[in-house]
Structure 1
Amino acid sequence: MPYIRAASELRPAYDFIVIGGGSGGSVMARRLTEGSDATVLLIEAGPLDLGIREIDDPTKWVSLTRGPYDWGYDYAPTDHVNGRIIGIPRGKVLGGSSSINAMMWYRGHPSDYDAWETAGATGWNFASCLPYFKRCEDWEDGETALRGAGGPLRIERSAEPHPVALALRDGAIELGVPPVDDPNGPVNEGATLSNFNIASGTRWSSSRGYLRPVADRPHLSILTGSLAMTLSFEGSRCVSVSHVVDGAVVTTHARQEIILALGAIDTPRLLLNSGIGDPADLRRLGIRVQTALPGVGKNLQDHPLVRAVNFRAKGPLPPMRDNGGGSMINWKSRPDVEKPDLHAFCIQGRSAVPEIAAAHDLSGDVFAVAPGLMGSKSVGYLKLLEAGPGGRIEIQPNYLAEKADLDALVAGVEFVLDLAGTNAFADLFAGYAAPAGRLDRVGTEQFVRNACSTFFHTCGTAKMGTDADAVVDPALKVRGIEGLSIADASVIPLIPTSNTHAPVTMIAERAADFVLGRA
């Protein structure tokens, strides 16, 4: 009986407890039940993802933000973004953010992972990570030296790219960006059709790929609608979790291990509420110190996205297809940059943060291109302002705090505006909408600050490594605590130049091997 419907069905103890049913937790729940009869409980705060049209339909993903399947978190304002609050979509449903995201499967540049090892995550170079990337994948072109086939996550290109998607790809090539067949292949710099977790027009989330095929395993139990409150310990060993079931708090024990996969916001929040973090912060909140790990909540990173450069179309566009995009470009903001640091994707309609929408006329037929910075340098933090799972929280990415980040995004916006003059856009482009025309340097900077949004690639808040701020060791064990591991985006030490769904899935595949003693 995999899906627990009532508290009475919950056992008092399981061999493994996985907290969080997203990109990391779905992987862990499946892999821990393979090849053994160990009992596994997967706890997810959100509801089941079955039969929800907006989740299944790839074109509807934007409508999921700020809705019932989104945690509704915000980034705190700073002067760098003109005092604006920026919403952070985070999935609150089985499948986590893989159930509400844009379904992009992209792992960035191989050197991103070599940099993890250099930063102290011993053994996490690209060569060591590659087998786990391949294990995730069911790539439409089949297995190669760099791609996997037959894995849980189906990955396809658009079968019928939208005209806007083709224009973005071909226009970028006209401007000197090289064409590339597969951005997850040998070279990632270039203009290309995107890799999607979409199959036959349906979202292929972690829940669909990893959990549904094994949901009948008798030793796997899936509990939804259950918010984790705190972890409990016997000495230095983590032994149980208190969580809400049917409106009451219950405690469930783990015989072997608890694995946290709540994501880069809620994993550090649970750690802090359980007494794991900077002692000064914990005492300020009135939380008893269990284990001093000052790095919890530090090192927060995310990619800034300019949402978006909007263009007027010459006429009505075809109906939206795929994820509302379909193609992407990776290029360098300056010739001397080591690897592509800028990324852009198209939108088959208008796209704007509220401040841009209020300041520009976006009526009529409009399409957009959103440039963003995958090579961002700014680093922020997460801080509890109140104890408890529902307490106030401050989440700060420090977008544009580094001048290099602002300079790169200015270059990105200028490049996207140049696309309008290419032959590829000749049948589409009828004028600028947002911004309403070409801008000087000062105007472009202000546009970037006012349009700055998030790729929702939040990561790094419980980083792996060996230095004093590392929260987990390179085997993903929480330092100083037995029986507790982390398998989500919080362990990423340096944000890769990619969407985070692919690296998090890879991390969880490897975490399962660590937990089971196979790595």
Structure 2
Amino acid sequence: MSGEVGALVADYIVVGAGSAGCAVAARLSEDPSVRVLLLEAGARDRNLWLHIPLGYGKTMFHPTLSWNLETEPEPELEGRRIPWPRGRVLGGSSAINGLIYIRGQKEDYDHWRQLGCTGWSFEDVLPYFRRAEDQERGADALHGAGGPLGVSDLRDRGPLARAFIEAAVELGLPRNDDFNGPTQEGAGFYQVTARNGWRCSAATAYLKPARGRPNLRIETGAQATRLLFEGRRAVGVAFRQGGALREARAAREVILCGGAIASPQLLLLSGVGPAEELAALGIPVVQDLPQVGRNLQDHFQARMVYRCRRRGVTLNDRMASLRGRAGMALEFALFRRGMLTISAGTAGLFARVLPGSATPDVQYHFIPFSADGPGRSLHPFPGFTISVCQLRPESRGTITLASPDPSVPARIRANYLATETDRRCIVEGLKLTRRLAATRALAPFVEAEYLPGPEAQGEEALLAHARRTGTTIFHPCGTCRMGSDPASVVDTELRVRGIAGLRVADASIMPTVVSGNTNAACIMIGEKAADLIRAAAKARQALAA
């Protein structure tokens, strides 16, 4: 890597070291003949809590490790602003998320293909899921072993999670030991992005083995402020680092991997987006792309909290005493087991609650602790949480600029519960939650419903509860939609329409949100993007020859 202060030079510049960006940068740098520069606005991943699975409770809303964004007032949620934490550290949100490894349904990717995204059917993307994966259970037709991303079974399951699974089976739902197997439907334990009890973020998986390569340069504390163009070709990135403005030049391509908020924001700041909106902010228009920042989708969750009858089985109990906390620390230190290894959902359930749904339309996260909301203090009583989210929302939101100043956060309008289908789905999901809690399997653990409480009877009361307390489940996507139609932001090779030398590879390119947690799909996108970029380079070399 060559360059001087304020002017770095590389063949490829990757903007954002999140789930996809780490994969893109590491895979491209496997070729020693190319120079790769990775720009990350956050810091290096040195905080110990980033590597302890339960550490997400301390890092998700951390003042420096998270961007701590929030939505505009949501019309259907009583005008509330919903907190949107996003990772601001090497590994991005994969370093602060709940660790759950879900790919989504086969039908999600086949639907992408039906929408015109040639090369993105499940059959097309499965090799990239397998290549990324180091599956603790071993390789088979659907799973890979030996890849960079550790995927393992939970090391602490607990009686509560087992009872939740038994409750689902009691209601006639199938048992499922692999949500990423042949079918997603049913109840079972989640697998997590962990290895030997430690979190395996995208930075741990991809960057840690690659850091010693002389052709990979990682710059942290480097916030991209705009793209540099020569005509309609992207040639570099301007960024702020340590209070100074710097530039980096790309001999081949710039790849945006900032995620569903940062990638469209950087495009807009750089003059790529809806021409009228950009002109109104005084931003010179480089390419009129009306769909930049549109098509925002997210999974909305509503939670029910229960007081637990049995003592000593919830995290609330363990955290309430010095002895309990010390025991957790010792168990992790000696055996890499115990409650410090749990994810944001130990048991899960994928079910159908709407008439006519051919595949699961809701996902449950069973959590052996309780609080008034994400990032809030645990309740002073033994409690557990059952969270339900709609997998395929109809509601669509937007990401727009609040200011041409890169330091000003973008405006997020999630537009939750904007359609009758979305409202109906979340209400039916909450009704199923109550049926689960009333089973013989969970009865020994349920002392009382705490939230919303037994007084919340009827569908209107449940919808009111969702409006009053519901939040994101942290899966924004879709704002740089991929497609073969002229209105899409990127084509099926992730190239930004009308701009040479520029791609987007992250959750923003998803035409529709996948049915489940999005981290695995983002890593797959990074893996596939690297192959697309390498194939394009080989094609150019062949033409030059």
TM-score under structure 1 length normalisation: 0.95
Matches within 5 A, 1:316-331: 316-318=312-314, 319=318, 320=339, 321-323=341-343, 325-331=345-351
Q: Does 1:415 align with 2:432?
A: yes
CA distance in 1 between partners of 2:312 and 2:303 (Å): 22
8 Å contact from structure 2 (residues 19, 523) kept in 1: yes
Amino acid of the structure 2 residue aligned with 1:53? L
Q: Does 1:369 align with 2:422?
A: no
- Find the residue that maps to 2:218 and give its secondary structure: strand
CA distance in 2 between partners of 1:481 and 1:354 (Å): 40
Q: Residue in 1 aligned with 2:251?
A: 255
Query: Structure 1 residues 53, 249: closer, same or farther in 2, change over 3 A?
Result: same
Q: Residue in 1 aligned with 2:305?
A: 309
Q: What per-residue deviation string (whole Å, max 9, x for no partner) do you get for residues 39-84 of structure 1?
A: 111000000002x122111112122222121101112222311111
Q: Does 1:475 align with 2:493?
A: yes
CA distance in 1 between partners of 2:528 and 2:122 (Å): 13
TM-aligned CA deviation for residue 427 of structure 1: 2.8
- Find the residue that maps to 2:535 and give its secondary structure: coil
Matches within 5 A, 1:53-452: 53-67=48-62, 68-318=64-314, 319=318, 320=339, 321-323=341-343, 325-353=345-373, 362-437=379-454, 439-452=457-470
Percent identity among equivalent residues? 38
Unaligned runs of 5+ residues in structure 2 are: 319-338, 539-545
Amino acid of the structure 2 residue aligned with 1:210? Y
CA distance in 2 between partners of 1:49 and 1:78 (Å): 33
CA distance in 2 between partners of 1:241 and 1:331 (Å): 45
CA distance in 1 between partners of 2:466 and 2:380 (Å): 21
Q: What per-residue deviation string (whole Å, max 9, x for no partner) do you get for residues 160-204 of structure 1?
A: 412222122111111121001100000100001101001222110
8 Å contact from structure 1 (residues 77, 85) kept in 2: yes
Unaligned runs of 5+ residues in structure 1 are: none
Q: What per-residue deviation string (whole Å, max 9, x for no partner) do you get for residues 460-501 of structure 1?
A: 000111223311110001111111111101111111111111
- Find the residue that maps to 2:434 and give its secondary structure: helix
Structure 1, 377-386 or 320-329: larger mean CA deviation: 320-329
Structure 1, 504-513 or 389-398: larger mean CA deviation: 389-398
Query: Structure 1 residues 9, 136: closer, same or farther in 2, change over 3 A?
Result: farther
Amino acid of the structure 2 residue aligned with 1:501? N
CA distance in 1 between partners of 2:301 and 2:192 (Å): 19
Amino acid of the structure 1 residue aligned with 2:96? I
TM-aligned CA deviation for residue 364 of structure 1: 1.2
Amino acid of the structure 1 residue aligned with 2:61? R
Q: Residue in 1 aligned with 2:328?
A: none
TM-aligned CA deviation for residue 353 of structure 1: 2.9
8 Å contact from structure 1 (residues 307, 352) kept in 2: no
Q: What per-residue deviation string (whole Å, max 9, x for no partner) do you get for residues 109-154 of structure 1?
A: 1010011111121221111111111111011111111111111101
TM-aligned CA deviation for residue 10 of structure 1: 7.3
RMSD of aligned C-alpha atoms?
Answer: 2.0
1:513 to 526, 531, 536: 531
CA distance in 1 between partners of 2:344 and 2:522 (Å): 24
CA distance in 2 between partners of 1:324 and 1:494 (Å): 23
TM-aligned CA deviation for residue 502 of structure 1: 0.9
Amino acid of the structure 1 residue aligned with 2:363? H
8 Å contact from structure 1 (residues 180, 192) kept in 2: yes
Amino acid of the structure 2 residue aligned with 1:472? V
Amino acid of the structure 1 residue aligned with 2:530? A
Matches within 5 A, 1:19-30: 19-30=15-26
8 Å contact from structure 2 (residues 482, 509) kept in 1: yes
8 Å contact from structure 1 (residues 309, 413) kept in 2: no
- Find the residue that maps to 1:106 and give its secondary structure: coil
8 Å contact from structure 2 (residues 480, 509) kept in 1: yes
- Find the residue that maps to 1:516 and give its secondary structure: helix
TM-aligned CA deviation for residue 302 of structure 1: 0.3
TM-aligned CA deviation for residue 36 of structure 1: 3.4
Amino acid of the structure 2 residue aligned with 1:445? L
Query: Structure 1 residues 309, 411: closer, same or farther in 2, change over 3 A?
Result: farther
TM-aligned CA deviation for residue 16 of structure 1: 0.7
Alignment: residue pair count: 511
8 Å contact from structure 1 (residues 311, 434) kept in 2: no
Q: Residue in 2 aligned with 1:486?
A: 504
8 Å contact from structure 2 (residues 133, 145) kept in 1: yes
TM-aligned CA deviation for residue 324 of structure 1: 5.0
Q: What per-residue deviation string (whole Å, max 9, x for no partner) do you get for residues 354-388 of structure 1?
A: 89x99xx9541111111111121111111112112
8 Å contact from structure 1 (residues 344, 371) kept in 2: yes
8 Å contact from structure 2 (residues 344, 365) kept in 1: no
CA distance in 1 between partners of 2:95 and 2:6 (Å): 25
- Find the residue that maps to 1:16 and give its secondary structure: strand
Q: Does 1:38 align with 2:58?
A: no
Q: Residue in 2 aligned with 1:453?
A: 471
8 Å contact from structure 1 (residues 65, 89) kept in 2: yes
8 Å contact from structure 1 (residues 56, 202) kept in 2: yes
CA distance in 2 between partners of 1:180 and 1:266 (Å): 36
- Find the residue that maps to 1:407 and give its secondary structure: helix
TM-aligned CA deviation for residue 270 of structure 1: 0.4
8 Å contact from structure 1 (residues 305, 372) kept in 2: yes
8 Å contact from structure 2 (residues 6, 247) kept in 1: no
Amino acid of the structure 2 residue aligned with 1:341? D
8 Å contact from structure 1 (residues 463, 492) kept in 2: yes
TM-aligned CA deviation for residue 335 of structure 1: 4.4
Q: What per-residue deviation string (whole Å, max 9, x for no partner) do you get for residues 92-115 of structure 1?
A: 000000000001110111010011
- Find the residue that maps to 1:307 and give its secondary structure: strand
